[in-house]
Amino acid sequence: MSQKIVFMGTPEFSVPTLESLVNSNHKVLAVYSQPASKANRGQKIIPSSVEIFAKEKSLNLRTPENLDYDEEYNFLKKLEPDIVVVIAYGKIIPKRFLNLAKHGFINVHASLLPKWRGAAPIQRSIMNLDNQTGISIMKIVEELDAGPVMHQDKIKINENVDTLTLSKVLSKLGAKSIIDAMNKIEKGQARFQEQNHSQATYAKKISKMEGQINWKESAKKVLAKINGLNPNPGAWFQYNQERYKVWKAKIVNKNSDPGKTIDDELTIACNEQSIKILEIQKEGKSRQLTDQFLLGNKIKQGENIN
Enumerate domains of the chain plus CATH numbers: 4-199 (3.40.50.170), 208-296 (3.10.25.10)
The residues, any chain, with a CB within 8 Å of residue 170's CB and separated by 6 or more, are: 13, 110, 122, 133, 134, 135, 155
Q: Please write the tens of the pLDDT for every residue from 43-98.
A: 788 999 999 999 999 999 999 999 999 999 999 999 999 999 999 999 999 999 99
- Average confidence (pLDDT) over 14-41: 92
- Average confidence (pLDDT) over 199-212: 94
> 40 falls in which pLDDT band (50, 70, 90)?
low
Query: What pLDDT sits at residue 44?
Result: 83
Query: What pLDDT sits at residue 42?
Result: 60
Q: Please write the tens of the pLDDT for every residue from 250-301.
A: 999 999 999 999 999 999 999 999 999 999 999 999 999 999 999 988 899 9
Q: Cβ of 55: how many Cβ atoms within 10 Å?
A: 12
Give dist(CA 54, CA 18) in Å, integer: 9
Does pLDDT of 41 surpass 70?
Answer: no
Q: Residue 287: enclosing H or E segment and its boundaries?
A: strand 287-289
Q: Please write the tens of the pLDDT for every residue from 124-181.
A: 999 999 999 999 999 999 999 999 999 999 999 998 999 999 999 999 999 999 999 9
Query: What pLDDT sits at residue 200?
Result: 97
Q: Cβ of 277: how many Cβ atoms within 10 Å?
A: 24
> 237 falls in which pLDDT band (50, 70, 90)?
very high
Give dist(CA 79, CA 28) in Å, integer: 11
- Of 72, 80, 84, 76, the C-alpha closest to 35 is 72
